Amino acid sequence: MTLRELYALWMFQNRLIVICRSAFLSLFGLFLAFVGTYDTYDLPFIWRTLYWIGFMNYGGLWMSLAAGLTFPRLIERRRPVWLAMAWLNGLSSIPIFLTVKAVSIELYIAQENDLALSWQTIREFYLREGNTIADLLLGYMEVLVICIAVSCFVYSLFYLWHKSQIKKTPDIAPTLPAGYKFLNRLPASQKTRLVCLAMEDHYVRAYTDTTDHLILLRLKDAISELADYSGQQVHRSWWVAYDAIRHSRKEGRRYILTLNNGMEVPVSQTHAPELKDLKFI
């Protein structure tokens, strides 16, 4: 999985990815609800399930924000995936940890009915809980570990899914330029813009905008190889590229095409209607 694919995983560019990511985060939240992490085991199962599923998706939003802030620069500088994961977890874990503490303070206030939210209340909360700087760092490390576990969990599931999709994807032949088979018959020095083909016995003379080359090939077979090239047969002995037609004139009952290399090519009555429909004559 490349860094660009990891970036797409945490962004909101694809609705299916967003839904799958939310499902994976909810699944991890369900696991934390069973475990009862952060002393939530005393809560009724339904409430702690809702709490952890909601909190995991809330944390996912912070991870998306962290990815949006850091991944574009990391992609530009071609940094490894592990460094992107470090930035993702390091940045997102800070606001998540602060939110955890804020929720703990709110629960403390809810238990003490006579308290209101203030700096004094927050101070009393930390004094009562015996929170030291070491305790805060330990609490942050716990949040960081959960963030790493969540991101690795989501990454692993998407990696396995991505790998399975690659196996299912059939090999697609590379796209070749129009008329590749015929143009490949021309010498390398003459592979410029094709103008027209002229039949000469069992040969075809291919005219380009710079030179010409004689090829041992029937005109019918040459036209078949140029089926996807922008042009058509205009006479039993001639094939012309559309972009080579400069203008046309009528001489008696037949039309003459003037090409961009100065050549003049006759148009048979059979092929004249097609060229009229295309406004070439």
173 — pLDDT class (breaks 50, 70, 90)? low
Residue range 174-199, pLDDT digits in tens: 666 788 889 888 887 666 789 999 99
How far is the CA of 156 from the CAs of 113, 150, 212, in angstroms? 45, 10, 59
Question: Residue 64 is part of which domain span?
Answer: 3-168
Q: What's residue 13's pLDDT? A: 66
The per-residue pLDDT of the chain, averaged, comes to 81
Count Cβ atoms below 10 Å from residue 70 Cβ, excluding itself. Answer: 19
Same domain, 15 and 154: yes
Helix (H) or strand (E) holding 257: strand 254-259
The beta strands (E) that lie in 121-219 are given as: 194-200, 203-208, 212-215
The lowest-confidence range among 16-25, 63-72, 171-180, 226-235 is: 171-180
Q: What's residue 266's pLDDT? A: 94
Same domain, 138 and 189: no
Q: What's residue 223's pLDDT? A: 93
| 160 falls within a domain | yes
Q: What's residue 222's pLDDT? A: 93
Boundary of a domain, candidates 133, 168, 203: 168
The answer on pLDDT for 121 being more than 70 is: no
The answer on pLDDT for 130 being more than 60 is: no
| 270 falls within a domain | yes
Ramachandran class of 78: left when φ > 0, alpha when ψ lies in -120 to 50, beta otherwise: left
Boundary of a domain, candidates 109, 133, 168: 168
Residue range 6-27, pLDDT digits in tens: 777 777 767 777 888 888 889 8
Same domain, 201 and 156: no
Boundary of a domain, candidates 168, 192, 208: 168
Same domain, 159 and 200: no
| 58 falls within a domain | yes
Same domain, 146 and 28: yes
Angle at 34 between CA 31 and CA 36, to 5 degrees: 105
- Residue range 225-243: mean pLDDT, rounded: 92
How many helices and strands (H and E) does the chain possess?
9, 8
Q: What's residue 259's pLDDT? A: 93
The lowest-confidence range among 79-93, 145-159, 215-229 is: 145-159
Same domain, 262 and 188: yes
The sheet with strand 264-267 has its strands ordered as: 245-251, 254-259, 264-267
Q: What's residue 63's pLDDT? A: 87
Total number of domains constituting the chain: 2
Same domain, 7 and 127: yes
The CATH number of the domain where 202 resides is what?
Answer: 2.40.50.1020
Same domain, 109 and 146: yes
3-state secondary structure of 151: helix
Residue bearing tokens 């991890």: 28
Same domain, 195 and 105: no
Same domain, 93 and 126: yes
Of 156, 146, 159, 147, the residue nearest 67 (C-alpha): 147
Beta-carbon contacts of residue 45 (< 8 Å; ≥ 6 apart) = 33
Same domain, 44 and 150: yes
Residue range 245-266, pLDDT digits in tens: 999 999 888 899 999 889 999 9
Residue bearing tokens 């703990």: 104
- CA distance linking residue 227 with residue 64, whole number of Å: 49
Same domain, 187 and 151: no
Beta-carbon contacts of residue 52 (< 8 Å; ≥ 6 apart) = 29, 30, 32, 33, 37, 40
Q: What's residue 258's pLDDT? A: 94
| Residue type, position 117, single letter | L
Q: What's residue 233's pLDDT? A: 94
Q: Is the dihedral of CA 263, 269, 274, 277 positive or negative?
A: positive
Q: Is the dihedral of CA 135, 137, 143, 146 positive or negative?
A: negative
The lowest-confidence range among 79-93, 175-189, 193-207 is: 175-189
Q: What's residue 1's pLDDT? A: 59
| Residue type, position 33, single letter | A
Q: What's residue 203's pLDDT? A: 92
3-state secondary structure of 255: strand
